[in-house]
């Protein structure tokens, strides 16, 4: 291994392959970011003759972004933000409570219930979208914020992560607080939760990404433009014959930034927790 | 632990109610609904296995099933192989490696629907740069998702762009869990780099690889957003994957029974996959 590491050819090969792969990942993203800064008149021009101008606009302008203000995009951002933030807040509280129960208590049916939790995150949500839609329609929730938020709050993976964290705190710790007369709710809110901030950060990002990534459910449950989240609003714009390509470039690029920036901020915790959760 | 018998259940109640109502009950609704039909008057009636019998005689269903199986036979090994190659490349330390790692996992944060839109624009003949590039190097413009022969492979490519970095993380964790002494022993025994890979790394990576393959398969059987956004099942039915067929049954043809029958079949497939996953992960003592 050492020899391989020091071999300059192997090193060059590794850098070369990594650079090609990173280029494949970044190229479409970078192209879109630059294309969104193009003047409307240049949108089609650069493709006919391939060269620098295919990627680099002759001048940079925020016109496409400014025009977005007048479109349906701000409403979609508002819907997405409201749905994601609400899901994150309720999701953290509800799933942390359950994770705490699995870690701190022994009770009848614990193993069976925990099995349900694990099974729930092994089954991708898409599998039940259509029957869930039938239910939601019966509740009278079709095209509402509830439809987008409530089914996404309880999350088996997040329960699992909180359980793992709370189980790493010795039970003596909880029991000492009990002896001092603390209620379980006090122990949960004042002792357990403040200690668990890395898990809170990871779970928050996970719940955010689950909303951010979901497409099938919002298309089915809330297709009305008043409740359309970002991904649905943008998908609608690429499907309809339209001429505002600049607007589509700008809104798509914004949607990418809205997802990647929080990800980059928390990715260290996120990646670590995801891996240990997924494998164990 | 001294506490009321009910305390744990109070802590559990909101989350378990959510999982029960929004994860477990829909499975029952799918199975129940697949046994009903909507009459012309609009009311539900029990039709037994009629929806399934109808599906089995429907060439559209068979074609969707075939496409879905073919799609999975290609995409899952491909994503596993790409993810494994990525994990090998970013495993050992290297100056600047953090940057490559960050870039390779970045598509995780691009939502599936948005990545479909991104490639819809990137691959477009009039708007995107790729066809211009292909003409420039003399290959010529390609139809990609608009071509009957290329559409399914284009979707596979987009999904791999989006997913490979995510699956890489699990394999990377697996690589880290192999003790370095195993490699040292192999080196002392005179094993070449290829032999170490073939006889040490690969056998010890069986479990994380199996996990990724199984979990990825569960997701890809339910592949939907790029089909909906880019191809609507076409051209010529080339990308009518089962999940899209189930969606179209309900929302284009208003046939909820057929839609839920397809959902039930997919749930059956997912159930088998989840059981497999459980068996893989049952013994945490074994090296993951």
Q: What is the pLDDT of chain A when averaged over all its residues?
A: 87
Residues of chain A in contact with residue B136, where contact means CB-CB under 8 angstroms, are 50-51
A211 touching B, CB under 8 A? no
Q: Which of residues 116-145 of A touch B (CB under 8 A)?
A: 116-120, 122-124, 126-128, 130-135
Cβ atoms of residues B233 and B227 within 8 Å: yes
Residue A205 scores a pLDDT above 90 = no
Pairwise CB contact (< 8 Å): A54 & B266: no
- Does A201 share its domain with A90? yes
Backbone angles phi, psi at B44, to 5 degrees: -80, 140
Nearest-CA distance B57 → chain A (Å) = 23
Instruction: Kindly write down the DSSP assignment for every residue of A18-43, as one continuous string.
Output: HHHHHHHHHHHHHHHHHHTTS-GGGS
CA distance B59 to chain A (A): 22
B2 three-state secondary structure: coil
**What is the C-alpha separation between A142 and B220, in angstroms, rounded?**
27
ipTM of the predicted structure?
A: 0.87
How sure is the predictor about A3, in pLDDT bands with cuts at 50, 70 and 90? Answer: very low
> Could you list the residue range(s) of the whole structural domain that residue A90 is in?
71-279
Task: Kindly report the CATH number assigned to the domain that includes residue B182.
Answer: 1.10.3720.10
Rounded-to-10 torsion of CA B203, B205, B210, B211: 160
Same domain, A60 and A91: no
What is the distance of C-alpha A209 from the center of its chain?
1
Q: Are residues A135 and A238 in the same domain?
A: yes
| Number of separate domains in chain B | 1
Contacts of A271 in chain B (CB under 8 A): 105, 169
- Contact of B29 with chain A, judged by CB distance below 8 Å, is answered with yes
**B270 interfacial to chain A (CB closer than 8 Å):** yes
Measured N-to-C along each axis, helices B25-34 and A129-139 cross at an angle, to the nearest 10 degrees, of 100
- Model's pTM, two decimal places? 0.88
Same domain, A189 and A216: yes
- A151 and B274: CB-CB below 8 Å? no
Domain boundary among A65, A86, A115: A65
Distance from C-alpha of B284 to C-alpha of A262, rounded to nearest angstrom: 32
Which residue, among A34, A114, A126, would best test binding to B if mutated, counting the most B CBs under 10 Å from its CB? Answer: A126
Domain containing residue B239: 50-96+166-281
Highest mean pLDDT among B30-39, B64-73, B248-257: B64-73
B114 lies in some domain: no
CA distance A154 to A159: 8
Count of structural domains within chain A: 2
Q: What pLDDT shows up at residue A225?
A: 87
Assigned token pair, B69: 């199986």
Whether B12 sits inside 8 A of A131 (CB atoms) is no
Task: Compute the average pLDDT of residues A38-63.
Answer: 77
Same domain for A122 and A34, yes or no, is no
Residues A38 and A120 in one domain: no
DSSP characters for B125-173? Answer: TTT-HHHHHHHHTTS----GGGSTTTHHHHHHHHHHHHHHHHHHHHHHH
Whichever domain contains A252, its CATH number is 1.10.3720.10
Q: What is the dihedral of CA A229, B239, A243, B121, to 10 degrees?
A: 80
CB B6 within 8 A of CB A187: no
For the stretch A146-172, pLDDT in tens is 999 999 999 999 999 999 999 988 888
Out of A101, A213, A252, name the one closest to residue B8 (CB). A101
Residues A254 and A167 in one domain: yes
SS3 A255: helix
CB contact under 8 A, A123 and B116: no
Whether B42 is in a domain gets the answer no
């Amino acid at each position: 291994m050492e020899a391989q590491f020091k071999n300059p050819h192997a090193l060059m090969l590794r850098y070369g392959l990594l650079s090609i792969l990173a280029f494949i990942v970044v190229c479409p993203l970078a192209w879109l970011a630059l294309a969104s800064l193009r003047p409307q008149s240049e949108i089609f021009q650069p493709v006919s003759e391939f060269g620098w101008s295919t990627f680099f606009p002759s001048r940079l302008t925020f016109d496409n972004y400014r025009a977005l203000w007048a479109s349906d995009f701000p409403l979609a951002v508002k819907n997405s933000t409201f749905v994601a933030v609400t899901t994150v807040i309720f999701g953290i509280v509800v799933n942390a409570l359950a994770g705490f129960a699995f870690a701190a208590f022994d009770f009848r049916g614990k193993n069976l219930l925990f099995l349900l939790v694990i099974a729930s995150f092994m089954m991708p949500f898409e599998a039940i979208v259509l029957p869930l839609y039938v239910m939601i329609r019966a509740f009278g929730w079709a095209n509402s914020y509830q439809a987008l938020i409530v089914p996404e709050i309880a999350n088996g993976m997040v329960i699992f992560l909180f359980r793992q964290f709370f189980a790493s705190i010795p039970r003596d710790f909880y029991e000492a607080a009990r002896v001092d007369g603390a209620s379980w709710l006090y122990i949960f809110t004042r002792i357990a939760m403040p200690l668990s901030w890395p898990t809170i950060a990871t779970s928050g990002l996970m719940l955010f990404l689950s909303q951010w990534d979901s497409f099938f459910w919002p298309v089915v449950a809330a297709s009305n433009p008043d409740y359309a989240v970002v991904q649905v609003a943008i998908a609608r714009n690429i499907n309809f014959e339209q001429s505002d390509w600049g607007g589509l470039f700008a809104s798509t690029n914004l949607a990418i930034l809205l997802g990647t920036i929080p990800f980059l901020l928390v990715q260290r915790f996120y990646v670590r927790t995801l891996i240990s959760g997924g494998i164990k | 632990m001294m506490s009321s018998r009910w305390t744990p259940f109070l802590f559990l109640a909101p989350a378990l109610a959510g999982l029960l109502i929004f994860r477990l009950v829909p499975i029952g609704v799918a199975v129940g609904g697949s046994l009903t039909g909507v009459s012309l008057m609009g009311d539900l009636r029990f039709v037994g296995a009629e929806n399934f019998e109808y599906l089995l005689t429907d060439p559209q269903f068979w074609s969707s099933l075939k496409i879905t199986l073919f799609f999975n036979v290609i995409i899952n090994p491909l994503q596993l192989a790409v993810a494994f190659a990525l994990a090998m490349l970013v495993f050992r330390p290297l100056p600047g490696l953090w940057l490559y790692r960050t870039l390779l996992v970045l598509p995780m944060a691009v939502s599936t629907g948005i990545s479909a839109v991104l490639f819809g624009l990137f691959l477009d003949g009039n708007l995107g740069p790729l066809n211009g590039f292909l003409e420039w190097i003399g290959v010529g413009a390609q139809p990609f998702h608009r071509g009957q022969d290329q559409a399914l492979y284009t979707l596979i490519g987009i999904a791999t762009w989006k997913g490979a970095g995510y699956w890489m993380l699990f394999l990377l964790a697996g690589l880290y869990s192999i003790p370095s002494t195993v490699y040292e022993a192999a080196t002392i025994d005179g094993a070449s780099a290829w032999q170490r890979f073939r006889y040490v790394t690969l056998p010890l990576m069986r479990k994380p690889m199996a996990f990724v393959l199984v979990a990825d398969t569960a997701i890809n059987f339910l592949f939907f957003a790029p089909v909906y956004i880019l191809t609507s099942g076409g051209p010529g039915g080339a990308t009518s994957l089962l999940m899209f067929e189930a969606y179209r049954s309900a929302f284009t043809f208003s046939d909820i029974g057929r839609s839920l029958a397809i959902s039930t079949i997919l749930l059956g497939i997912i159930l088998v996959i989840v059981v497999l996953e459980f068996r893989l992960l049952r013994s945490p003592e074994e090296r993951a």
